[in-house]
Amino acid sequence: MVKEIERAGLPIVHICTVVPISKTVGANRIVPAIAIPHPLGDPNIDADEEFKLREKIVQTALNALTTEVSEQTVFDVK
């Protein structure tokens, strides 16, 4: 689906846990997620901390969308 959206001309970033799958399939902008059942969350921390964590991941994804890439690039959440 990521490739079709890219093919339509829209820059897209893939937030996913199993990065090797996204790479094999061919996503160009990839952001690693936390875990399979909760890619943008962590049930083990309190809600406020979790929201901040989610913000960091989304911010990384937005940064990826504003970054020029010439090959598949993984943007690590710092």
Q: Is residue 33 a contact point for another protein (CB under 8 A)?
A: yes
Beta bridge partner(s), residue 74: 30
Q: How far is the CB of 76 from another protein (least distance, A)?
A: 15
5 Rama class: left (phi>0) / alpha (psi -120 to 50) / beta: alpha
Q: How far is the CB of 61 from another protein (least distance, A)?
A: 5
26 Rama class: left (phi>0) / alpha (psi -120 to 50) / beta: left
Question: Out of 8, 46, 48, 76, which residue is the one contacting another protein (CB under 8 A)?
Answer: 8
Q: Is residue 62 a contact point for another protein (CB under 8 A)?
A: yes
How far does Cα 14 stand from its chain's mean position? Answer: 4
Q: How far is the CB of 27 from another protein (least distance, A)?
A: 8
Question: Out of 48, 68, 76, 78, which residue is the one contacting another protein (CB under 8 A)?
Answer: 68
